[in-house]
Structure 1
Amino acid sequence: MKNNIIRLFLCICLLSSSMAMGQQQINEPFKIGTESFMLNGKPFVIRCGEMHFARIPRAYWRHRLKMAKAVGLNTVCAYLFWNFHETSPGKFTWEGQADAAEFCKIAQEEGLYVLLRPGPYACAEWEFGGLPWWLLKKKDIKLRTQDPYYMERCRLYLKEVGRVLAPLQITNGGPIIMTQVENEYGSYGSDKEYMLKTRDYLKEAGFIVPLFSCDGTVQLKNDVQKDIFAVVNFGNNPEAAFKALREVQPTGPLMCGEYYPGWFDSWGAPHHTGSNDHLIKELGWMLDRNASFSIYMIHGGTSFGLWAGANCQPYTPETSSYDYDAPISENGNATPKFDELRNTLKKYLQPGEVLTDVPAPIPVQKIAPFNLTAVAPIMPQLSKPVLSDTTLFMEDLNQGYGMMLYETNLPAGAKRKLDFTEVHDYAEVFIGNKLIGVLNRMKNEHVINIPELSKPAKLRVLVEAMGRVNYGYYLPDRKGLQGEVYSITGEEKVMLKGWKHYSIPLGEGNPQFKYSAINTIPKLNGPGFYKGHFKTNSKSDFYLDMRWFKKGVAWINGHCLGRYWNIGPTQTMYVPGVWLNNGKNEVVVLDLHRPAAARLQGLDKPILDSLTTSEIISSNHRKAAQKFGNNQNSLIYTGAMENTGKWQTFTFSPKNGRYLALEAINNFTGDQFAALAEVELLDEHGDQLPRNSWKVVYVDSEELKGNDGKSENLFDLQYTSIWHSQWKDLAPKYPHQVVIDLGSKTTIGSIKMLPRQDMETGRIKEFKVYLANQLFNGL
């Protein structure tokens, strides 16, 4: 009897334990184990790919998700862009193109789980990194810090995200299995309390699935927090990256949060591509070790509207095409990279999984050349200016995107210069109605020569705002003229006052201007909107060929396609067929300059890699007669780097100067190539010196054709971009030099350098550092 009682007691205990475990599995259908992710109690490898619903026409969401499933993925990663949902304080949009919940529901219907990345900061080469422009109306705001106003707005935003998306967590039967806290914060700061508060806001908003953070291998140490699972971002060498992850997170499954199959494009730089073999080899390496990953991007899409962002420093705006050389092309079709990836992933399916069929390709069409027949000059139609003694930012006028016209009077007088301090981002300068020059932030231009004036004249400055900076320390990127404007004649310097400000907002919906027949205004040399029509009975996609136009924005039937610029590399604009009408379709093109012809056509293939000039990215860094000479009297340090991908710091007695030269003597592989990711300078106290005024004035060799190896990459805050000496057409031998104008005399006590991250080739070994108050001999 006693034994029976004992047996009954043990059975009850086992049953209770089993029920408790079952209940735990119900409450935690997805969790993070010590060695692997667990889905419904079984080990689970996340095969994920990123795509952004904001960059895909809503009518194509299901098609793109079907493509992701068909290539062999089981999860999709989805960013939310705060500025896409809260366009003004407290006014949220979750309908139409912004219906994030519907995107997640469709993903689940197509057999995909979701990794949610709600921000508040995203980066993603998106305008302002996803932050709302209206935050900048508060002049003293400190972004991505514990600034009280910033944190309160983040809390309200994330609470709203929770209201809409927390019900779609896997714990409620939805597809969301993990949610990210902020994004790559270790690349920006190291305030652990800030990250923990952001985590708490997500919990307060109702997110109970595991929370995670991500960053690059070098920055992980700044990002890792208690109870926030860490993943690592990289585009190469998973073994080294996961080793860095293990140093900060000894247990748990290994995961790459962003694995790069290609890269984004910027205006004036070559189109980026990524190796198919490299992608397949490294994903295979990860899968052989049960490591999870998310491919950034599996499908890039398009930054429609004015949503494309910019990098800094130097200022480099990104193209509207976000093709990314991804496995799924900009218009959603399979590429050779897709086919190779599908063949690889089918070898790693989990029990019960099968590959779904690849959806039929989205059809494309050609549109015969057609002329635009009407034009609306901009400046004659502006009215109701805002008056101010000094220049105002666009944000001061409660304007988020578009252009502004600044107007004041110039007195008669001799030739002079105008110094605008800074221009954000592209300005046309007019005296009366005559264009006298252009100022381009990409080239750090802010001074222009004014001819002699026999009588007072009207000064007009039309400023186009391109994308706000989306990455790094220069996020507070207000638009328009930055600071005072000075008229300089000899030694005399006079500040211009009495400014009129005209807003020209742009975005979705056709701009409302009065048009005239184009043949009635034959000599328009200022900015204007051009309008025309074409007919088609097909709703197939096509690519609008912009090669007759120069720089501006285009619309189809009121849908803003984005920006174009004839410098390249992109020369076409993707037009989704679902935005077309049967029959007549309207096209509006804003061009800042007079086009070669007011003509357009539709192509069935994009032009993604056609640079018309290298001036933007090269800026004449080396003239034919220039050669770095004997500058031993300016030598301040000689040293050698280690053959690793880690930051390396070299300290010396503090020196003062304006011009810094870095001379690479040799590398670790014994060939002629030099490559370096980043350079930072520290003052005599060990504090980092700002880099916003740096400018390359000489480089002996930089690769501008085969890849984006420009010398400005040394201080662009992007650890994956590099300065690379030439290799495509020429391959000059060592030594290699880069000379940087620091903007003013500066005291330097240390130099920090980050070797290239992706491979050993070109990693500098021995080097020298020079510092002088005047340009070096030979330059």
Structure 2
Amino acid sequence: MGSLRFLRYNWSYVTPLELKHRSVGLGTGSTATGHAHFTLNGRKFRIFGGSIHYFRVPREYWRDRLLKLKACGFNTVSTYIPWNLHEQKRGKFDFSGNLDLEAFVRMAEVIGLWVILRPGPYICGEIDLGGLPSWLLQDSKSRMRTTDKGFVEAVDRYFDHLVPRMAPLQYHQGGPVIAFQVENEYGAYDKDKHYMPYILEALLKRGIVELLLTSDLLGHATKGYVKGALATVNIRKPSRKVSKELSQLQGNKPILVMELWIGWYDYWGAEKHFVRNTRDVEHTVAEFIKYNISFNAYMFHGGTNFGFMNGAIFKSDVYRSIVTSYDYDAVLTEAGDYTEKYFILRKILGSISGIPLPPLPDPTPKSVYADVSLSHYLPLWEVLQYLHEPIKLSIPVSMENLPINNGSGQSFGFILYETPICSGGRLHAHAADVAQVFVNDTIIGFLNENSRNVDIPTFTGCQLLRILVENQGRLVFTSRIQHEQKGLTDSVSLNKVTLKGYTIYSLDMKMDFFDRLRSATWRPITGSYEGPAFYRGTLRAGPSPKDTFVSLPDWNYGFVFINGRNLGRYWSIGPQRTLYLPGVWLRPEDNEIIVFEKMMNGLFIQFTDEPKL
């Protein structure tokens, strides 16, 4: 173990072509004046990193974004690894397509970038449940992010599959990966003193030999620190507290700011898109360089929360869903375009690189397509026959506990509960996150975390009660992460009498669902329809499709699907007003566009070549 620790603190700078002939990795050293620094093969080395999340960027654009990182003067790319996307179903792993981690790392290597991997298991990253898979919530007694038996057994199975994919990518194996992060920001959670040593050892015993890091908010590094790893911090601007906290913790080690927050994320209902002053970023980076501080720009390129991957936060004790765009006011925009920050950082980093920076890749062209009229629709109730077989249960269960997907439940999307009722009155239910309540197909009211009662008008005979619940994103940074079950999470009562006998439909809206939906008989639209429904039209992209942004100015709330791909959520409350549509996801000529609107439809959708965030 001692030799591994020693090797982990001995790097030196080489080009990717030399990797096959070298065997010593990243480490630390000090100058004659006693100042600590990183070394790579015995030579002084500074980490100039930028975060790009492969799972938030279309695979076809990985190369473009990495080339732009290199051309800006950065030498390292970092990325989180989202457990919840790689293992949506327990025991079934997906590292294909946009989740091909190894291909992303190898592409970075070819371009000439070093790589830092941040495998979690918890990553935060404003992604649903902080990157933990939702099926962990099935056991209400399990304590996530601790050494609780059920949790670490799940982590071990995941690492048994993940680490063999990462290990050959290490510097010592001839790859570009020079460091791994142990968990993420654990100092702010701090529920189990044995947890961080367990995760560190889990990586070591599976063959990870490179530098290990912890990453914490300033003021929490001591609680998140584990012996055998280098402590790093996450901050927005320079502070004397950084060197003081880290030196007290680990002596004279190099300082790495693992997350220099270039911008920030947005949530639905915010007054405006967050923007960080470019001059502040310029000053901060200049200070870091002056004092020999290595840093990782979070985010260099944010990308998009496609589909249902977004998480949620508490803002002033109110639940807030994070928007679809993960633009983050980053160095590159959501669509990979250059910003003022990019050119300022390129100038700073270019001035100290010692060699000319690579030429700038061409900007990605955009297009403004003709408005699309959505001429046909299907009410949700007519779509149920195209879903998988419903589940029949005596009592409602949460989304995670629905007995589907080989026992893994449902991770994302919507869930519909139906049960007969024979009278009106006071309905009581706990729905997370938000529910629409219907009698047959007539909307009666809404339920959410703070509103658990709906009054149902009197009627004759027996009718069908329907409760459509949406998961708007599980909390990402909270001590109550154990309690993020979605759907109906308790019994439902009418006039204080518990209702029983449910038909439950899973609406996760995956690609195969839209394949089946194409055989449906769609209704022509004659006006507005109130209630959840699917609307279909055709986007004619021409022979050479290009990137664009979708605008739905007179729609209320829902999701947009292009050729079955989920672009993400739109919501009239803003601040986000457009959805990014990558041109690489469009086919030449005709493209199917489907909008799932929860409330009431508009008549058409528009396209623009500029985002409105």
Could you tell me the TM-score, scaled by structure 2's length? Answer: 0.90
| Counterpart in the other structure of 2:5 | none
Aligned to 2:487: 480
Aligned twin of 1:27: 23
Does the 8 A contact of 2:88 with 2:411 survive in 1? no
CA distance in 2, matches of 1:153, 1:517: 44
Distance 2:552 2:258 in 1: 36
Given that 2:53 and 2:302 are in contact with CA atoms closer than 8 Å, whether structure 1 keeps it comes out as yes
Inter-partner Cα distance in structure 2 for 1:508 and 1:175? 34
Task: Please name the residue that 1:177 is paired with.
Answer: 178
2:418–2:465 CA contact under 8 A, matched in 1: yes
Q: Is 1:337 paired with 2:346?
A: no
Contact 2:119 2:183 in 1 (8 A): yes
Cα displacement string for residues 656-706 of structure 1 (whole angstroms, at most 9, x for unaligned residues): xxxxxxxxxxxxxxxxxxxxxxxxxxxxxxxxxxxxxxxxxxxxxxxxxxx
Between the aligned partners of 2:524 and 2:172, the Cα distance in structure 1 is 64
Q: Does 1:607 align with 2:612?
A: yes
Aligned residue identity for 1:502: Y
Q: 2:329 matched to which residue of 1?
A: 325
- SS of corresponding position for 2:259: strand
Distance in 2, matches of 1:510 and 1:548, equals: 26
1:715-764 superposed Cα distances (whole Å, 9 cap, x missing partner): xxxxxxxxxxxxxxxxxxxxxxxxxxxxxxxxxxxxxxxxxxxxxxxxxx
Counterparts of 2:540 and 2:193, CA distance in 1: 57
Contact 1:238–1:282 (8 Å) recurs in 2: no
- Displacement, 1:109? 1.5
2:422 is aligned to: 411
Task: Kindly provide the amino acid, as one letter, of the partner of residue 411 in structure 2.
Answer: G
1:503 paired residue number: 506
Displacement of 1:487 in angstroms is: 3.1
The one of 545, 550, 554 equivalent to 1:544 is 550
Distance 1:372 1:418 in 2: 36
Q: Does the 8 Å contact 1:238/1:286 carry over to 2?
A: no
Any conservation in 2 of the 1:527–1:591 contact (CA below 8 Å)? yes
SS in 2 for 1:366: coil
- Structure-1 residue corresponding to 2:16: none
Match of 1:162 in 2: 163
Tell me which amino acid in the other structure corresponds to 1:28. Answer: V
- For 1:93 and 1:480, the matched residues in 2 are separated by 25
Cα contact 2:560–2:566 (8 A) shared by 1: yes
Pair 1:396-2:401 in alignment: yes
User: Shift of the alpha carbon at 1:285?
Assistant: 0.7
Q: Distance in 2 between matches of 1:547 and 1:467?
A: 24
Letter in 2 for 1:378: L
1:533 to 510, 530, 538: 538
Distance 1:264 1:182, change over 3 A: same
Task: Report the more deviating stretch, 139-148 or 227-236.
Answer: 139-148
Letter in 1 for 2:427: L
1:151-187, Cα deviation, whole Å (9 max, x unpaired): 1121121222221121111112211110001111111
Residue 357 of structure 1: SS of its match in structure 2?
Answer: coil
Tell me by how many angstroms 1:272 deviates.
0.9
* Residue 321 of structure 1, CA deviation: 0.5
State the number of aligned residues. Answer: 573
**Whole-angstrom CA distance in 2 between matches of 1:304 and 1:125:** 13
Q: Write the mapping of 1:205-224 to structure 2, written as runs, cut at 5 A.
A: 205-224=206-225
Distance 1:298 1:200, change over 3 A: same
Are 2:431 and 1:423 aligned?
Answer: yes
The CA deviation at 1:188 is: 1.1
C-alpha contact 2:331 2:342 (8 A) present in aligned 1? yes
Tell me which amino acid in the other structure corresponds to 2:472.
Answer: M
Q: Which amino acid aligns with 2:489?
A: Q
Structure 2 letter corresponding to 1:535 = R
Aligned match of 1:447: 453
- Cα gap change, 1:296/1:503 in structure 2, threshold over 3 Å: closer, same or farther? same
1:465 corresponds to? 471
TM-superposition CA deviations, 1:398-428 (whole Å, max 9, x none) = 2222211112233335xx43221x3211211
How far, CA to CA, are the matches of 1:94 and 1:297 in structure 2?
23
**Residue deviations 1:373-416, cap 9 Å, x none?**
22122124425432333221112222222211112233335xx4
Runs of 4+ in 1 over 6 A off after TM superposition: none
Question: Partner letter of residue 216 of structure 2?
Answer: D
Written as runs of structure 1 = structure 2, the 5 A alignment for 1:593-604 is 593-597=599-603, 599-604=604-609
Q: CA deviation at 1:522?
A: 4.8
Given that 2:310 and 2:322 are in contact with CA atoms closer than 8 Å, whether structure 1 keeps it comes out as yes
**1:517: Cα distance to partner?**
4.3
Structure 1 partner of 2:590: 584
Are the counterparts in 1 of residues 247 and 253 from structure 2 also a CA contact under 8 Å? Answer: no
Aligned match of 1:359: 361
Q: Which residue of 2 aligns with 1:316?
A: 320
Distance in 2 separating the partners of 1:29 and 1:425: 47
Distance, in Å, in 2 between the alignment partners of 1:229 and 1:330 is 31
Distance in 2, Cα, partners of 1:588 & 1:549? 13
1:419–1:487 CA contact under 8 A, matched in 2: yes
Where 2:437 maps in the other structure, the secondary structure is: strand
- Tell me the SS of whatever aligns to 2:213: strand
Q: Which residue of 2 aligns with 1:723?
A: none
Paired residue for 2:273? 271
Tell me, in whole angstroms, the C-alpha distance in 2 between the residues paired with 1:473 and 1:190: 9
Contact 1:306 1:507 in 2 (8 A): no
- The CA deviation at 1:108 is 1.4
Give how far 1:116 is off. 0.7
Distance 1:389 1:152 in 2: 31
CA deviation map 1:92-139 (0-9, x unaligned): 222221111111111111121011101111110112211112222333
Greater relative contact order structure (CA < 8 Å, 6+ sep): 2
Cα pair 1:48 1:74 within 8 Å, conserved: yes
In the aligned structure 2, how far is the partner of 1:434 from the partner of 1:310?
30
Alignment match, 1:240: 241
1:347 corresponds to 2:338: no
Unaligned runs of 5+ in 1: 1-24, 609-779
CA distance, structure 1, for counterparts of residue 415 and residue 360 of structure 2: 47
- Asked if the contact 2:530/2:601 (under 8 Å) is kept, the reply is no
Letter in 2 for 1:271: H
Say whether the 8 Å CA contact 2:562–2:592 is kept in structure 1.
yes
Flag the structure with larger Rg. Answer: 1
Amino acid across the alignment from 1:400: S
Deviations 1:590-648 (A, max 9, x none): 11112132x1121101110xxxxxxxxxxxxxxxxxxxxxxxxxxxxxxxxxxxxxxxx
Residues in 2 aligned to 1:583 and 1:242: alpha-carbon distance in whole angstroms: 57
CA distance in 1, matches of 2:568, 2:510: 9
Who is 2:445 aligned against? 437
Q: Quick check: 1:300–1:329 contact (8 Å CA) kept in 2?
A: yes
Shift of 1:371: 0.7
* Residues 316 and 520 of structure 1, relative CA distance in 2, 3 Å threshold: closer
SS at match of 2:365: coil
Contact 1:402 1:507 in 2 (8 A): no
Contact 2:238 2:288 survives alignment (8 Å): no
> Alignment identity in percent?
36
Aligned to 1:82: 83
Q: Match for 2:23: what amino acid?
A: N
Structure 1 residues 508, 274: CA separation in 2 closer, same or farther (over 3 Å shift)?
farther
Q: For residue 244 of structure 2, give the secondary structure of its aligned residue in structure 1.
A: helix
- The aligned counterpart of 1:623 is none
Match of 1:58 in 2: 59
**Alpha-carbon shift at residue 587 of structure 1 (Å):** 0.6
**In structure 1, which of residues 370, 373, 384 is the aligned counterpart of residue 372 of structure 2?**
370
**1:117 partner amino acid:** R
Q: Give the drift of 1:253.
A: 0.2
Structure 2 CA distance, aligned partners of 1:499 and 1:555?
29
